[in-house]
Structure 1
Amino acid sequence: MDALDALINRVSAPRLIEPAPTAEQREHLFKAALRAPDHGQLRPWRFLTVEGDARHALGELFAEAIASKYPDADEETLTKARNMPLRAPLLILVIARIQEHPKVPAQEQVLAAGCAAHGILLAAYAQGIGAVWRTGELSYDQVVNSGLGLADNEQVIGYLYLGTPQRDLRVSPPVNVDEYVSGWVGKAQG
C-alpha cells in the first residue's frame, strides 16, 4: 500500500480479534511512531503494550478507577470496565512525557505524542492490521495513571486497540476538502 492510500483511506476498526500484530509488524508500528514531528527532538512520548493476561489486570485497574470515582457504581458498570481491554488482542497505551523546555511548550509535546499515535494507526492500516484509538474518562484518571506507574509529567493520550479486523473495513465516505480549507488574505478588519 502506498503512503497516500494509507493517509486518505485509513479507517478505524472497532471490532478486533486474534491474532495480534506480529513482532515484525510491531517494529514497523513503532518505527512509524518515532517519525512523528518532534520540535527539539525531545521524543515526548512512550508506549506501553498490554496483551494476554495483562489485559485482565488493566480491566481490574479500570474497574478500580470507576469504583473510586463512582462509589455507587453497579456490578454491570464494573464488569463493562473490566471487559474494555478485552476488545482487542493488543493495546498500545500512548503516553505523552512533558519535559521542561524553553522553546517547546507542553501543548506542542502533547501534539507530537498524538502524531506518534497517528503514525501507529497509519502503519497498522498499511499492514492490514485493524486499529482504533480510544480515550474516555479513564484516559485522564489518577487511579489509572498511578496503577500504570506514570510519572507526574506523563499523561495517557490514548489507548490504541489493535488486532485482526473481525469484518471487512468500511469505506470512508469522500470528504469535500473545500469545506475545511480557505485562503487567508491578511489581518481581519474589525
Structure 2
Amino acid sequence: MIDPAALELLKTRKSPKVFDLAFPAPNTAELDSMLAIASRVPDHGKLTPWRFVIFEGEARERAGEVIAAVFREDQPDADADRVDIERTRLARAPVVIAVVSKAGPHAKIPEWEQTLSGAASCTLLVLAAHAHGYAATWLTEWYAYDPRVRAGLGLAENERIIGFVHMGTLARPQEDRPRPALADLVLRY
C-alpha cells in the first residue's frame, strides 16, 4: 500500500543553509524520537558501529572553543573575526548532533559497511527532523577530520565523525536546488 504522506515527506526534504536554522529547537522527547528513528538503519551483524553526541545550549560554545583552539594553533596569524567564525561553527543552529563512527576491523563485516551504516543514520536523522516539522543540514567540515578536535570533543582515537547534523526551525523559506535528471543517473540492464 502506498503511503502518500510518507512519499511527500521524502520528496520535500531539503538541506537548508545552516544560518537559516533558528529556535525553537526540538525538545528532548522529539530528539529521542529522531534518534530512535536514526537507529533503524541497515546494520550487518547488529554491531551498532555508530553513536550520537548532542550539542545544545552551552555545549555548542564549549565545542566551539575546542575548534577555535585547534584553528588558532594551525593559523596563528588569523585575525579575531576569522577565529570567531571557527568558534561559532556549532552555535549556528539550536541543536547539532554528531554522528560518530565506531567502525573497526571485524571477521565478517567490512569497515566500509559499518561506516555506511552510520551514514544511513545521518540520512534518517535529517528525515526524522523533517517529519517532526524541523529542518536539518548534514555537514562535515575540516574540524570533523582533525584528530585534535575529535579528541577535544571526547572521541576515542578510533572514532570518526560521519557528520554534524544541524537542526532547528526554518527561519525563512528555502528555494529547492536543481535536482539531477534521472536519465543521467540510471542505467537499466
Query: After TM superposition, is the score higher than 0.5?
Result: yes
Match of 2:121 among 103, 116, 121: 116
1:54 equivalent in structure 2: 59
Aligned to 1:182: 187
The match for 2:10 is: 7
In 1, Cα distance between equivalents of 2:147 and 2:74: 10
* 1-structure distance, mates of 2:145, 2:6: 32
Alignment of 1:10-25 (within 5 A): 10-14=13-17, 15-25=20-30
**1:68-147 alignment to 2 at 5 Å?**
68-147=73-152
**Once the two structures are superposed, what CA deviation does each residue of 1:126-175 show, in whole Å capped at 9, x if it has no partner?**
12101111111111011111111111221011111111110123335454
Q: How many residues are aligned here? A: 184
Structure 1 unmatched runs, 5+: 185-190
Q: SS of 2:53's equivalent?
A: strand
Distance 1:65 1:123 in 2: 32
Distance across 1 between alignment mates of 2:76 and 2:123:
35
Matches of 1:178 and 1:105, distance apart in 2: 32
Residue 71 of structure 1 and its aligned partner are, at CA, apart by: 2.6
TM-score, structure 2 as length reference: 0.91
TM norm structure 1: 0.90
Distance 2:164 2:51 in 1: 12
2:160 aligns with 155
Structural mapping, 1:30-69, within 5 Å: 30-69=35-74
Distance 1:90 1:31 in 2: 17
Which structure 2 residue ranges, 5 or more long, are not aligned? none
Give the C-alpha shift of residue 73 in structure 1. 2.3
Give the AA of the match of 1:72. Answer: D
Taking structure 1 as reference, are residues 172 and 73 closer, same or farther at Cα in structure 2, changes over 3 Å only? closer
SS at match of 2:100: strand
Where 1:84 maps in the other structure, the secondary structure is coil
Contact 1:9 1:172 survives alignment (8 Å)? no
Q: 1:174, 1:136 → 2: CA distance?
A: 23
User: How much identity, in percent, do the aligned residues show?
Assistant: 37
Cα distance, 1:59 vs. partner?
A: 1.0
Report the RMSD for the aligned CA atoms in angstroms.
Answer: 1.6
The answer to whether the 8 A contact 1:133-1:161 is kept is yes
Letter in 2 for 1:154: E
Distance in 2, Cα, partners of 1:97 & 1:55: 22
Mapped to 2, the partners of 1:9 and 1:19 lie a distance apart of 21
